[in-house]
Every structure is written in structure tokens, then in C-alpha cells.
Amino acid sequence: MTLLADILVLGSLLLSVLLTIQSAYTLYLMLYTWDRPEAYQRAKAPTHFLPAQKPFTVMLPARHEEDVIQTTIERVVRANYPLPLIEVVVICKTDDEGTIAKAEEKIAELRAQGIDNVRVLTFSNQPTNKPHGLNVALTATTNEVVTIFDSEDDIHPDIFNVINTVMLQEGVNVVQSGVQLMNYESNWYSTLNVLEYFFWFKSRLHYHARAGMTPLGGNTVFFVRSVLERAGGWDEHNLTEDADVGIRISSMGEPVRVVYDDRYVTREETPPTLDHFIRQRTRWSQGFLQTLMKREWARLPNFEQRLLAIYTLAFPSIQALLGLYVMVSLATMFTIKTPVLVAITLSLPLYMLLAHLLLSVIGLYEFTDAHQLKPSWKTPLVMALTYLPYQWVLSYASVRATIRELRGINNWEKTAHVGAHRLEPQPLGSAASAKA
Amino acid sequence: MAWRTLLDRVLLVVSLTTGAVTHGYNLFKYPLYVTDEGIYIQQAWSVLREARLSPYTYFYDHAPAGWLVIAGWVAILPSQFQTFGSAIDTGRALMLLVHITSTLLVYRVTARLSGSKAGAVIAAFIFNVSPLAIFYQRQVLLDNVMVMWVLLTLYLVTSGSDWRRGDMRIVAAMLSGLTFGLAVLTKENAIFFAPVTGYLLFKRLRGRMNYRFGVGFWSFSAVSMVSLYFLYATLKNELLPSGFSFDLNNPPADHVSLLYTIWWQLHRSQGSILDTNSPVWQFSLGAWLPKDTFVLVAGAAAALINLTVGLLSRGRRLEGVVVSGLALSYAIYLARGSQMLEFYVVPLLPFLAINIGLLAAWLVSWLPRLLRVIPVVALTGVFVFNPAWGYVLVVDQFGHVVPHDLYKLDQTSMQAEQLQWIRQNIPPDAKLIIDDDMWADLHDQKPFYKWAHSHYKAASDPDVRDKLFGKDWRNIDYVVMSNKMRDAMLLNNADGGETWILQALDHSQVVWSVEHGDVKLEIDRVNK
């Protein structure tokens, strides 16, 4: 029994130190933009736009998106950018007749208004997933800059002007612009989920871009076509093809510019139910694991980048550990009599957990300020109560992902979109309160 | 390197060297080792040798960060406590490093706040040569370590390209929160610097993009650091007194309690500023002013002028409010009449020096740039070479110009002789009543005198008083008297705890003694 207790204490101690270090590092990544005033300035979008020059191919991969696809098409074609410079393709599998019908209906409507730059592109062979659709579209389109929007995305009408200006001014070939979940008071996990996006796009991704190791997002990402072609397109067997293509592009030495300007973010919604949320998170965790196993990151030029890649890709698994560790640590502290110094060391990850909670609460006010929203006084309290359960959900998804990967299950568990961020329609560009 | 940077470096090196010389020269000889130095060294000894915070029952009278630092210092030395001579000498060597670090910080903080090298040089100079400062800064005192952490906090809060207009990093805010927490854990009265430090941080960050994160994480870091002390007490089951009893007339008997001790300390009062018999008057008139009138009077005047200028300038001279606020808030703490000891003046000194530096910078700025060096050189010249000023040179009773006592007196050799006599003439198994100044030397070097205990512990700690000595003077073999120890025993005897030791003195004969100036040491053998 004592031997078992000793092993438990020693293990906890080691884990405690490692988790504290990783937790402090993650905290830093999440604060990076606020810590570095020059990074904060760099992240902003240009204040003046150059005349439209770059032609865009907009890819809209969709599966069973009958409810939202028409709005999405509408938003893209109504953007403040010359229509001749935009080519829109809705990408569907042939069996998704509902979405195809809705898209065609919208296209006909637009044609009647003289807008004829939208078409549906279908594919029939396996696998049935987003990267496959994107690869099909890549060969079937021609414009210089390729971008992707998901069906539920609310894009800013000036997004093409922003990217056109950044690409012309800075000569960059890959630009990731911010994506932001908006419905932060929809349910118990939505606040923390919204803030994950906020910290990821507003802060952490800038750190990655500076380090030259950027796992890209799945939409509002812009590539000069030749870069994608050199990278060989998207990996059709990877559940997070976006992060994967980002790492491959990084290993080609191609710099990525990240723009997070609160005004120009693409607005999205949190998954509508916990079940969907878990499925989405499982897919991400599994995709990261797959990308880790693929070892494309090993081709990154320097050691720091490779380390950062391993850390980022393994992060969901580490997160699983953190969520579970809290319980082990509390149990160890109060049930096994340890020397005081040991007990204090065991408590360090709890301090880090509190630091992360504080980060999220302050982040809530930064987020709502940036979007002219006013959070309820109850929201921080709900966050405090749900913070650990949220971590446990992530842990669960991560464990689930690992099991799926080990058992070779690789199907795409699609996230449903109900348009929670569109329920209270606001004029574009203004503050859209996203209460559902 | 630009000439400005070069000049800055040269002035800084000169300032640090001055501090090293004034504090390092004669460091181990003067002043006399005192009880408090002995206590902190003894507790550092306990950390290293026993993995505890004190060789006796630790009752949370002070937070432990200070002697943990001392223990860390001793741990890396080749001969540990004996590296620089006696155990206290080894502690004093650390104080020298602490002072040099503090001087660096005083220089940099003043330079940032005043925007003037002249101001920085003057502040550092006064901090380095004030006889009052040197006297206490050479001693192994928690206050010296605490001051270093507070100055480091200010250094971090003023970091970045321009503290008035530029951005501040969140990492700097976090670190300064941690160092401030360390200051509080070194000596709790650092808390009196919190309001002004918080105000400076707030003024600096307000309206900036990282305002919320900066202030939030500064506070979080500071509170987390301090909370470790409470966590420690909780883990030892010593946070709350047994039965939640905070009755000051009836201290809990079965175990010590952090919150009870805090409660007790908050209710200790030794009169107020209105009472001329209170320690603040006794010390300021009796101990502090005679050592250095200038730093106290000029520092106080400078603080008041800086405060006035700062308030009248409507935010343009924020530094005036901040620097004077730091000095005044601590002065108010001293004046409010709580428990205090002679060396409690220590944390005031760097801020008086910075106030003088800031005022000097302001006055000098009226002169053309090239002429600014003249008043600085003249002032330092007067301080160093004019014996009438009494800083470095003094006129003795024979009318001769001689160095200040700080640089020539040797008092600790008498204490070394006393220790040596014990080792040569008293068997190690004898039961000794001593003062804390020699505790670590007797317990750390062979042969160990494990029955040597200070009269404070013998008067109050049940383990020593009752179990070891049975509270009977006949169980004492020798009483080793430090300077004015009998006075200290009488002062400490309000509850009669020292009576049985005083009885031992009454039944003893002097077997060794030395007297020089106002210092008298002796060793008494108890006749049974």
C-alpha cells in the first residue's frame, strides 16, 4: 500500500511539474498578442484598401446544408468586391440532392439579377469529405487566390478588400483571417467555446505565424493557387486537413500572415448540442493526432518549429491529462499525507487552472467590448462553475479520438449548423448580438 | 555605443562600486551582531539542516521567504555557513549582494521616473553613503531583502520603452506581481507599498490594450504568491486556531495558528505618534536622527515637495505623487504606533533617497545640460570629504579628522572571542542560555552545543523552558551575555518568563568578560 502511495505521489509530482510548465506556456501563447504591443499592431487589418486587383475563387464545401446554403451564397456575392473578380463554387457530393437543389435555386435567382459567377460543382467518388471536395474544386477553378468559406459562415463584406490589400502590400501568399464564434451566451459551454476561438485567432495564431509553424483554420483562409498546387492540395484522409495543409505549407518555408481585426472576422456559431460539440472536438483531436503521426512536421526547417508542431498537435491529448489530473491532484493532496513542499508542488497546476479561468473571464470582456456586446453579470459565474466540466468534456473528446484512431475509425462526424449566430439578423458589419 | 549609453553605464558602475565599498568595507567587523540577525540565520540553518522553518516551534511570527533566500544562498556556498567567517558574516555577505542589487534598482527606477541621470546618481549615492542606511543594511535583516523585492517590483512596473506613454508587457506585470508577493512573504509590512504600486500600475495601463490583462495578472500573481503562505498553514493544519478561538487573552494551547498570529499582531500597539514615549519617537530621536539627520529631514522635505508638485501638475508629474506616496505610506505605517524595532526604518531609506534624487533632478533641470554635472559633483564631494557633514569623515573628540565608525570600528571581534572562549572552556554538553547571535555558530560547527538556547526561547517556548530546563535556574550551567542582554531580558519579562533565568544570573559568577566603549560582553557560570 505504501509503495503504491509512493508511486502515486512521485507520479503526481512529476506530472504536476510538467503540467505547470505546459500550462504556463499555453497561457503565454494565449496572451501573446496582448503581451507584445508590436504583435497587436501587426495583427490589425489595413486602414485603407487598395483598388481591387486580385481575382478570388471562393469554395463553399457543403453537405446537408439546405437551411443555410442560400444565405451563404448571397453573402459572398454581395461582398464589396467587383463580381468579375470573384468565382464562387458550391461543392457537393452528388447524393446530397437537397443542398444541390437549394444552391441551384439560388443560382437561378441570381442569374435573373444578372449575377452569373456562381456554380455548383459535384463529385461522386469516395471519400465523402471536405478535403476531397476542395481538391476537386482546385482543379476545376482558375482564379489566382483560393479561399474557403463554410456554409454557416457570416463573412464580412470587405473581407476581399482586406485580403487584396494585404497581399498586394506585403507580398504574402497565404493569409489567415479571423474566425469568431459569436453566440457566447447560448448554453453552458458556448462562452468558453467562443473564447477558445477568440484566443486562438486573436493571439495564439500570431505566435505560430511568427514562429513559422501555422496550423491553418478551415475557412477564411486565402492561398495563392500556386502555393496550394506546390503543397499538393489537401489530404483527403485527414480529419483536420486545414491544420495539416498549414503545416505542410509552413515546412515549405512559406510565411503565413494572420489578420485578426475584430471588425472583419468571419462569424460562426458553436455546435448546437453537447453531442455535436463532442463530435466536432473528437474530429479535431483525431485529426491532430493523424497529423502528428504523419510526421510532415519533421520537414519543418528548425528545431523550435518542430517542437512547437509536436506540442500543438499533441495538445488535445495533454489537455485530456490536465482535466483528469485535477481530480488526482486534489485526491492526493487531501488523502495521502505528503511533506508540505510536495503538497504545494502538487497544487501548482491548480494555480495555473485559476490563471486560465482568469484569462477566460478577462477574455470575455475583451471579446464583448470588441464586438460592442454586453455580457450578463451571471456569465463569469457560469464560466467559473462550468470551467472544469468543460475541460472534462474536452478530455472525453480527446480520449474518444484516441480510441477511434486506434480502432481505425476515420469517418467525418459532421457538425450540424442551425444558424444560432444568425437568429437575430443585424446589418452586416454592425454589432450582431448573437443570443440564441 | 552612443555616448549617452556609455555615460549611463559608467555612472551605474560607479554607483554600484560605491555601494560595494561603503557596505563591503569593514562589513564583518561593524556593527555588532544583533539578536535578529542571529534568528534569521538560525532559521535558515533549520531549513538546510532540518528541513523546517525554525529549530523551535514556528508560530508564523514572520513569513519565511527571507530566510529561505538566505538558506538558498548558504546552500550554494562551498563552506556553507562558515564561508565568510561566522554564520552571520555569511549572511552579511548576502546582504552586500542584496544592497548592490538594490542600488542598481534605485538607480534605474530613479532614472526612469525622473528622466535624469543626475537624479539617479544622487539617489544611488545617498542610498550608498547614508550612515543610517549602511548601519542597518549591513545587518542580516528581512527588511533588506524585502526592500530589494519591492524595488524590483517597481523596476518591472516601470519597464518598457517609456513608462509614461509606452506599452507595458503582461509578462512584466506578472513578474512584478510575483516579486511583490515575495516582498510580502519576506516581511509582511511590504503590504504598505501596495496602494501606491497599484496606483502606478493602474495609471500606467489605463486606456491601453492590455489594461485588463495587465492589472488582472499582476493581482493574480501577487495574491497567488502570498496564498502559498496560507496554503502552507492549511496543509500543516495550522491556519485556524483550535476551536476558532481568537481570544487574545487566552492563546490557543494545542497548536499554533497563522490567522491567530495575524490577529494578535494587528492588535499589538505601542502607543501612537501623539505619545512621545512611543517607539517611533524614541527611535527617530534616539537612534535614527543621530546617525543621519540629512537623509531623514531632506528626504521628508523632498517627499512633501514632490507630492505638492505632483498634485499641482495635474498628472504631468505623476512620478512626484508615486515616489512621495511610497515614502509617505510607509512613514504613516511607522507613525501609526504599532510594534516596532529600531531597524524598521530600513524600508523607508531607498524611497527617501529616490525622493531626494527626483527633487534634485527637477532642480538641476533648470541648468544648461553641460552645467548639470557641477552640483552633482559638488554635493557628493561635500558628503564624502567634509568632516562636518559626518557622512564618511568625522571629527573625533580630539579634533582629528577620522573615518566614520562604520569604516574603522571593530566590534564583532569581541563576539568572536566570546565564542572562542566557550569552545575552549565549556563542554559541549553544558546547558547554556545565550543570545541568538551565536546560535548558528554553536549548533553548526563541531563540537555541537545542542543545549545552547536563546533566553527568548527559554522564556517562552514550552519545549525549551519546561521540558529541557524544567523552568529551574539550577538546570542552567552558563549564561552567555550579549551586549545589553540583561536589559532585553527585563524588557521581555512582562509575563515573568525570564524570571528563572534572571535568578540564574543572580546565582552566578562572571568567568569571562570584555568591555569596549558601550559594548560589554560576559559569560557567567551558574553556581549550584
Put simply, whether A24 touches B (Cβ < 8 Å) is: no
Contact A362 B216 (CB under 8 A): yes
Is the pLDDT score of A435 beyond 50?
no
* Out of B209, B220, B231, closest to residue A344 by CB: B231
The residue ranges of every structural domain in chain B are: 3-395, 412-526
Q: How far is B219 from chain A (nearest CA, A)?
A: 11
pLDDT at residue number A414: 60
Name the residue facing B228 among A28, A40, A344 (closest C-beta).
A344
Q: What is the pLDDT of residues A258-292, one digit of tens each?
A: 999 889 999 998 999 999 999 999 999 999 999 99
Interface of A with B in 202-221 (CB under 8 A): none
CA distance A322 to chain B (A): 20
Min distance A40 CA to chain B CA atoms (Å): 9
Contact list in B for residue A28 (CB cut-off 8 A) is 171
Question: Which chain A residues are Cβ-neighbours of B209 within 8 angstroms?
Answer: 34, 37, 40
Give the pLDDT of residue A345.
86
Query: Which residues 6+ apart lie within 8 Å of A292 measured at CB?
Result: A310, A313, A314
- Structure pTM? 0.90
pLDDT above 50: residue A128 = yes
Which positions in chain B touch A37 (Cβ < 8 Å)? Answer: 167, 169, 209-210
CA distance, residue A204 to nearest chain B CA (Å): 15
User: All 3 cell numbers of residue B251?
Assistant: 492563546
Please report which helix (H) or strand (E) contains residue B319, including its range: helix B318-335
CA dihedral over A63, A66, A68, A71, signed as positive or negative: positive
Q: Tell me the nearest-neighbour CA distance from A42 into chain B, angstroms.
A: 14
- Whether A220 contacts A174, CB under 8 Å: no
Model confidence pLDDT, tens digit, residues B351-373: 999 999 999 999 998 988 888 88
Q: Is residue A121 packed enough to be buried (19+ CB in 10 Å), middle (13-18) or exposed (0-12)?
A: middle
Q: Hey, of A25, A29, A35, A198, which one would you mutate to test binding to chain B, going by the most B CBs within 10 A of its CB?
A: A35
Closest CA to A239 of A401, A399, A63: A401
- d(C-alpha B213, C-alpha A208), whole Å: 21
Contact A30, A119 (CB under 8 A): no
Q: What is the structure's pLDDT at A412?
A: 63
**A433 CA to chain B: closest CA distance, Å?**
23
Least confident span in A43-52, A215-224, B267-276: B267-276
Q: What number of other Cβ atoms are within 10 A of residue A32's Cβ?
A: 22
pLDDT at A431 over 50: no
Residue of A28, A37, A355 with shortest CB distance to B167: A37
H/E run at residue A246: helix A241-251
Residue B7 C-alpha cell reads as: 555615460
Is the pLDDT score of B180 beyond 70? Answer: yes
Residue of chain B whose Cα is closest to the Cα of A36 = B169
Q: What is the pLDDT of residue A135?
A: 94
Could you tell me if B68 and B229 are in contact, meaning their C-beta atoms sit under 8 angstroms apart? no
Residue of B288 and A20 predicted with greater confidence: A20
Would you place residue A426 in the very low, low, confident or very high pLDDT band (cuts 50, 70, 90)?
very low
Confidence label for A189 from pLDDT (cuts 50, 70 and 90): very high
Element (H, E) at A102: helix A97-112
- Residue A34 to residue B209, Cβ atoms within 8 A: yes
Chain B partners within 8 Å of A333 (Cβ): 235
Report the run of H or E that residue A393 belongs to, with start and end.
Answer: helix A378-406
- CA of B222 vs chain A CAs: smallest distance (Å): 12
Task: Give residue-wise pLDDT tens across range B281-337.
Answer: 676 667 777 777 788 889 999 999 999 998 998 878 889 999 999 999 998 888 776
Confidence band for B279, pLDDT divided at 50, 70 and 90: low
| Confidence tier at B211 by pLDDT (50, 70, 90) | very high
Mean pLDDT estimate for chain B = 89
- Say whether B220 and A40 touch across the interface (CB within 8 A): no
Percent of chain B having pLDDT more than 90?
A: 56
Contacts of A40 in chain B (CB under 8 A): 209-210
Determine the pLDDT at residue A428.
Answer: 36
With an 8 Å Cβ cutoff, are B213 and A354 in contact?
A: no
Phi-psi region of A330 (alpha: psi -120 to 50; beta: other; left: phi over 0): alpha
Whether residues A35 and B169 touch (CB distance < 8 A) is answered with yes
Q: What tens digit of pLDDT does each residue of B69-90 get?
A: 999 999 999 999 999 999 999 9
Which residues in chain B are contacts of A365 at CB distance < 8 A? Answer: 212
Cβ A89 vs Cβ A140: under 8 Å: yes
Residues in chain A with CB shorter than 8 Å from the CB of B235 are 333, 340, 343-344
A375 touches chain B (CB under 8 A): no
Residue of higher predicted confidence among B460 and B285? B460
Q: Do A347 and B167 touch (CB under 8 A)?
A: no
Q: What is the DSSP letter of B21?
A: H
pLDDT of residue A155: 93
Report the range of poorest mean pLDDT among A23-37, A240-254, B147-161, B456-470: B456-470
Averaged pLDDT of chain A: 88
Q: Which domains can be identified in chain A, with CATH numbers? A: 2-36+305-412 (no CATH), 38-290 (3.90.550.10)
Please judge whether B217 and A358 are an interchain contact, meaning their C-beta atoms are less than 8 angstroms apart: yes
Q: Is A35 on the interface with B (CB under 8 A)?
A: yes
The verdict on a CB contact (< 8 Å) between B216 and A358 is yes
| Cell numbers that stand for B113 in this block | 521616473
Q: What tens digit of pLDDT does each residue of A294-341 get?
A: 898 999 989 999 999 999 998 877 777 777 777 777 777 777 777 788
pLDDT, position A433: 34
Q: Taking CB atoms and an 8 Å limit, are A344 and B216 in contact across chains?
A: no
Q: How far is B443 from chain A (nearest CA, A)?
A: 25
Q: What is the pLDDT of residue B165?
A: 84
Strands in B95-227 per DSSP E: none
pLDDT band at A425 (very low <50, low <70, confident <90, very high): very low
A101 phi and psi angles, rounded to 5 deg: -60, -45
State the ipTM, two decimals. 0.87
d(CA A128, CA A92): 9
Q: How many helices and strands, by DSSP H and E, does chain B display?
A: 24, 7
Say if residue B223's pLDDT is above 80: yes
A343 touches chain B (CB under 8 A): yes
Average pLDDT score over residue span B221-245: 88
Q: Is the pLDDT of residue A434 over 60?
A: no
| pLDDT at site B355 | 96
Tell me if B171 and A366 make a contact (CB, 8 A cut-off): no
Contact B220 A28 (CB under 8 A): no
Out of B29-38, B99-108, B335-344, B478-487, pick the least confident.
B335-344
Nearest CA distance, A67 vs chain B (angstrom): 39
> Do B212 and A366 make contact, defined as CB atoms within 8 angstroms?
yes
Q: How far apart are CA B67 and CA B71, in angstroms?
A: 6
pLDDT reading at A429 higher than 50: no
